[in-house]
């Protein structure tokens, strides 16, 4: 046997072409066997469930809009059907029936097929129809979110249900809206004709058309005030009937009842004044900027002895789950900008959050020096525009070279405590925009190498923008968090937009958005070594000196180590 192998080896050395020919034939034969086994394993039982890609095989066109770049792939359903959240009533365990091949004949038949399939799917949510929507006055006026890559019917329902809403609506194939009331007229089912971006077998509304579902909540308490945010104790404003226009006398007052009442009336603020519940918006008449001692509001509720319900003079205020839509409309600039304004920051300094605030405050999209598909999918529509397009109000950038800096006409320079910024950027690098790095990354070689490379950049980034930038407005991240209204006024002023105070007050209520990390995850140890702190402290002093030489306030006191 050994002699035979030696002879074969010598033969193929002399005639390598024969060897490669034999190898190609072997691979081809293996491929044919594999394909045959694959076809033989497919079920051809009539009426069997159609795969998500069936419509493509039948040659139907893709009806969605806003096609993303070729790098994105359509999401597929997990085996065994969708998962089901605990908030659905499950009353049927029968398998879901899918449409037959003949149902693909028209847009209307596909919409009806998707609707009937959704209605039958374990009664977790009831489809109530296609409705007209208006960008200036939404049909569903609760929270909203967008995902131009992975939106599905279930994802929208799940998000709305978790927040206690009664209705979930999908629009444009990728937009999800929640609400407690449907405030619009019906539209033809054929007008809800856009496939979901993450689930092409289902329909997600159309252009200014909502596919709306009523959520069958497992517990009635799920739609109570649950996640309402406590805003504090405030003195009753002058002209209270104008500042808080809706009121109701409640002899059996409780926080639940007042929040539920204002939620039902579609107001974002619920104010308890003894036995009177008042609802409204934050306005110049009632800014929520001057909080009082909570003891002034510490009058027990008539309907709940362990809660405080305020007094006739001092109001206890909660923010309901109703979204304040006065600052939610956004669009591209109507005419091309004559100047390019940079929103410059070191990575991890809160640039994405600042973009969110600027878009809400101005009503215009922000752009980017880069392209980040995950940000585009979350609603930052200016992300895909070229940074010189002139259609966006300002441009995100982390660049720090002289040539790049001098290409901008003015800049907002966002600076953050380097200890926090480095940790935030490390989390983003290893966990995504709103994720967190694993403990193995913090304790491994990645973290020391990261600090050694990025800490000097934190300093040189600021120094370069101060040296080469034209008309630079310095904003400290910590000041923006502490006094958002004033700092945002400064930023909007540099952008040349007249700041509407009511709109800025609306931004305060929506400040976190859907794309802000909820806070640095607490580590069990301090990741900074004494050597790291010594190095970073030197960079902080350098930046502090540079700021003061330009007659600017130095870095905040909390930049220095505790």
Residue 462 is assigned to a structural domain of this protein: yes
DSSP state of 184: S
Q: For residue range 51-77, list pLDDT tens digits in order.
A: 333 333 333 233 333 333 323 333 333
Residues 206 and 228 in one domain: no
Query: CATH number of the domain that 352 lies in?
Result: 3.40.50.300
Residues 261 and 179 in one domain: no
Residue 345 is assigned to a structural domain of this protein: yes
d(CA 99, CA 146) in angstroms, rounded, equals: 28
pLDDT average, residue stretch 516-531? 68
The closest of 180, 204, 183, 185 to 193, measured between CA atoms, is 204
Residues 314 and 372 in one domain: no
Q: Is the pLDDT of residue 113 over 80?
A: no
User: What's the pTM value of the predicted model, to 2 decimals?
Assistant: 0.62
pLDDT average, residue stretch 119-123? 43
Residues 178 and 233 in one domain: no
Q: What pLDDT does 386 receive?
A: 92
Residues 250 and 382 in one domain: no
Residues 260 and 356 in one domain: no
Q: What pLDDT does 529 receive?
A: 92
Residues 196 and 312 in one domain: no
d(CA 342, CA 336) in angstroms, rounded, equals: 16
Residues 346 and 259 in one domain: no
**Residue 247 belongs to domain spanning:** 224-319
> Three-state DSSP class for 346?
coil
d(CA 240, CA 112) in angstroms, rounded, equals: 49
Residues 443 and 485 in one domain: yes
- Token pair, residue 558, equals 């909390």
Residues 211 and 229 in one domain: no
pLDDT average, residue stretch 462-484? 94
Residue 97 is assigned to a structural domain of this protein: no
Over its C-alpha atoms, the chain yields an Rg (Å, rounded) of: 29
Q: What pLDDT does 225 receive?
A: 46
- How many distinct structural domains can be found in the chain? 3
Residue 76 is assigned to a structural domain of this protein: no
Lowest pLDDT segment from 50-54, 243-247, 319-323, 351-355: 50-54
User: Based on the number of CB atoms within 10 Å of its own CB, is 392 exposed (0-12), middle (13-18) or buried (19 or more)?
Assistant: buried
- Percent of the chain at pLDDT above 70? 73
Q: Which residue has the higher pLDDT, 501 or 106?
A: 501
pLDDT average, residue stretch 281-310? 88
- Largest Cα–Cα distance in the chain? 106
Q: Return the sign of the alpha-carbon dihedral for residues 451, 453, 458, 463.
A: positive
Q: How confident is the model at residue 80 (pLDDT cuts 50, 70, 90)?
A: very low
Q: Given strand 167-171, what is the order of strands in its sheet?
A: 125-132, 209-215, 167-171, 175-179, 144-146
Asked if 489 contacts 287 with a C-beta cutoff of 8 angstroms, the reply is no
DSSP string, 95-148: PPP---GGGGGSHHHHHHHHHHHHHHSTTSEEEEEEEE--SSS-SS-S-EEE-T
Q: Is the pLDDT of residue 316 over 80?
A: yes
Residue 101 is assigned to a structural domain of this protein: no
Lowest pLDDT segment from 299-308, 346-355, 453-462: 299-308
Q: What pLDDT does 75 receive?
A: 35
Residue 132 forms beta bridges with which residues? 209
- Percent of the chain at pLDDT above 90? 44
Q: At which of 289, 319, 349 does a domain end?
A: 319
Residues 182 and 306 in one domain: no
Give Cβ neighbours of residue 221 (< 8 Å, ≥ 6 apart).
none
Q: What pLDDT does 231 receive?
A: 87
Residue 413 is assigned to a structural domain of this protein: yes
Residue 232 forms beta bridges with which residues? 317
d(CA 249, CA 26) in angstroms, rounded, equals: 85
Write out 79-93 in H/E/C secondary structure: CCCCCCCCCECCCCC
Q: What pLDDT does 414 receive?
A: 96
Residue 133 is assigned to a structural domain of this protein: yes
Residues 382 and 509 in one domain: yes
Q: Is the pLDDT of residue 524 over 90?
A: no
Q: Which residue has the higher pLDDT, 200 or 180?
A: 200
pLDDT average, residue stretch 513-540? 75
Q: For residue range 186-226, list pLDDT tens digits in order.
A: 999 999 999 999 888 899 999 999 999 988 753 333 334 45
Q: Is the pLDDT of residue 436 over 60?
A: yes
> Three-state DSSP class for 190?
helix
């Amino acid at each position: 046997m050994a002699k035979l192998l030696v002879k074969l080896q010598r033969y193929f050395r002399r005639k390598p072409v024969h060897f490669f020919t034999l190898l190609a034939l072997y691979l081809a034969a293996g491929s044919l066997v594999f394909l045959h086994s694959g076809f033989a394993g497919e079920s051809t039982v009539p009426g069997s469930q159609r795969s998500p890609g069936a419509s493509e095989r039948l040659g139907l066109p893709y009806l969605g809009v806003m096609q993303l770049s070729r790098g994105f792939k359509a999401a597929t359903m997990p085996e065994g059907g969708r998962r089901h959240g605990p908030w659905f009533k499950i009353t049927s365990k029968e398998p879901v029936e899918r449409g037959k091949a003949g149902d693909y004949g028209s847009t209307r038949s596909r919409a009806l097929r998707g609707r009937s399939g959704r209605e039958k799917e374990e009664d977790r949510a009831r489809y109530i129809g296609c409705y007209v929507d208006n960008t200036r006055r939404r049909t569903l006026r609760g929270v909203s979110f967008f995902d131009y890559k992975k939106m599905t019917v279930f994802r929208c329902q799940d998000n709305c249900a978790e927040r206690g809403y009664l209705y979930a609506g999908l629009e444009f194939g990728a937009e999800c809206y929640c609400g407690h009331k449907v405030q619009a007229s019906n539209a033809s089912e054929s007008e809800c004709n856009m496939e979901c971006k993450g689930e092409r077998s289902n329909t997600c509304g159309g252009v200014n058309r909502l596919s709306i579902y009523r959520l069958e909540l497992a517990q009635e308490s799920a739609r109570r005030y649950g996640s309402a945010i406590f805003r504090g104790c405030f003195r009753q404003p002058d002209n209270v009937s104008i500042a808080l226009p809706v009121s109701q006398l409640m002899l059996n007052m409780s926080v639940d009842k007042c929040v539920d009442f204002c939620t039902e009336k579609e107001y974002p603020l619920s104010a308890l004044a003894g036995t009177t519940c008042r609802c409204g918006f934050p306005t110049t008449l009632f800014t929520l900027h001057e909080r009082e001692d909570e003891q002034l509001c510490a009058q027990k509720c008539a309907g709940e002895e362990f809660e405080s319900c305020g007094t006739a003079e001092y109001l206890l205020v909660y923010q309901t789950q109703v979204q304040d839509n006065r600052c939610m409309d956004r669009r591209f600039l109507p005419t091309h900008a004559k100047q390019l304004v940079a929103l410059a920051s070191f990575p991890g300094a809160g640039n994405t959050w600042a973009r969110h605030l600027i878009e809400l405050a101005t009503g215009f999209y922000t752009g980017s020096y880069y392209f980040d598909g995950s940000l585009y999918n979350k609603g930052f529509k200016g992300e895909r525009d070229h940074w010189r397009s002139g259609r966006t109000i300002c441009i995100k950038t982390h660049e720090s070279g002289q040539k790049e800096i001098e290409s901008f006409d003015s800049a907002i320079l966002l600076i953050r405590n380097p200890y926090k910024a480095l940790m935030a950027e490390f989390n983003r690098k290893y966990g995504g925009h709103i994720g967190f790095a694993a403990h193995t990354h913090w304790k491994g070689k990645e973290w020391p190498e990261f600090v050694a490379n990025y800490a000097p950049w934190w300093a040189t980034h600021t120094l370069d923008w101060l040296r080469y930038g034209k008309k630079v407005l310095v904003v400290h991240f910590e000041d923006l968090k502490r006094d958002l209204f004033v700092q945002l006024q400064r930023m909007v002023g540099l952008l040349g937009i007249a700041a509407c105070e009511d709109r800025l007050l609306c931004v305060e209520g929506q400040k976190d958005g859907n794309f802000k990390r909820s806070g640095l995850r607490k580590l069990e140890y301090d990741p900074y070594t004494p050597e790291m702190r010594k190095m970073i402290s030197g960079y902080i002093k350098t930046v502090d000196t540079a700021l003061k030489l330009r007659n600017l306030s130095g870095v905040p006191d909390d930049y220095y180590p505790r």
